[in-house]
Amino acid sequence: MSFQMPEPQARPSGRTRRSRRSAVLTGAIGIAPAGPLAEELDWRGSLGLTTAHCTIMVVDVEGFGRHSRTNPNKVRVRGGLYRAVERAFAAAGIPWGGCRHEDLGDGVLVLAPAHVSKALFVDLLLGALADELLAHNAVHPAPEQIRLRLALHAGEVSYDEHGVTGSSILHAQQLIDAPELKRALAQTTAVLAVIASDWVFDEVIRHSERSAAGTYRAVETPGGRAWIRPVGRRRDLGRWRRLG
Mean pLDDT of 184-196: 95
Q: Give the pLDDT band of residue 26 (cuts 50, 70, 90).
A: very low
Residue 3 clears pLDDT 90, i.e. is over it? no
Per-residue model confidence (pLDDT) at position 233: 55
| Domain residue ranges of the chain, discontinuous segments joined by + | 50-243
102-125 pLDDT, tens digit each: 999 999 999 999 999 999 999 999
Q: For residues 100 and 37, which has the higher predicted lDDT (pLDDT)?
A: 100
pLDDT > 70 fraction of the chain, expressed in percent and rounded:
75
Q: Give the pLDDT band of residue 50 (cuts 50, 70, 90).
A: confident
Average of per-residue pLDDT values in the chain: 83
150-169 pLDDT, tens digit each: 999 999 999 888 889 999 99
50-243: CATH topology is Alpha-Beta Plaits (3.30.70)
Residue 12 clears pLDDT 80, i.e. is over it? no
Per-residue model confidence (pLDDT) at position 235: 44
User: Residues 215, 177, 166, CA angle at the centre, nearest 5°?
Assistant: 105
Range with lowest mean pLDDT among 13-22, 131-140, 176-185, 222-231 = 13-22
Using CB atoms within 10 Å of the CB of residue 141, give its burial: 0 to 12 exposed, 13 to 18 middle, 19+ buried.
exposed
94-103 pLDDT, tens digit each: 999 999 999 9
